[in-house]
Amino acid sequence: MSSDELSRCALELPAEERLELARRLVESVVIPEPLSESVLEGVRRLEDMVAGRVKGLTEEEYRQALK
């Protein structure tokens, strides 16, 4: 199976499964180093958004929060 075919199949997966697949692919090519707590927190927050546990901000809400 070509990488294009694999990509098309992977994009049909539910969001949580795509996130897990992405994590596994990155881990397979990156030299494993301990992640800082801030990076781990960022990953947890992304997972919460993808899983629908939290709602992200709109661009307008984000810009308002910066003021």
Mean pLDDT estimate for the chain: 89
Domain region containing 8: 1-32
pLDDT at 23: 86
Distance CA 63, CA 59 (A): 6
pLDDT at 9: 94
Are residue 50 and residue 23 in the same domain, yes or no?
A: no
The larger pLDDT score, comparing residue 32 to residue 52, is at 52
Residue type, 1: M
pLDDT digits 0-9 by tens, 34-55 = 888 998 899 889 889 888 899 8
Residues 28 and 1 in one domain: yes
CA distance linking residue 45 with residue 40, whole number of Å: 9
Number of residues that this document lists for the chain: 67
Kindly state whether residues 39 and 25 are assigned to the same domain. no
Do 17 and 44 have their domain in common?
no
Are 28 and 38 part of one and the same domain?
Answer: no
Q: Nearest-CA neighbor of 22 among 55, 46, 52? A: 46
Do 49 and 61 belong to one domain?
A: yes
In the chain, how many domains are there?
A: 2
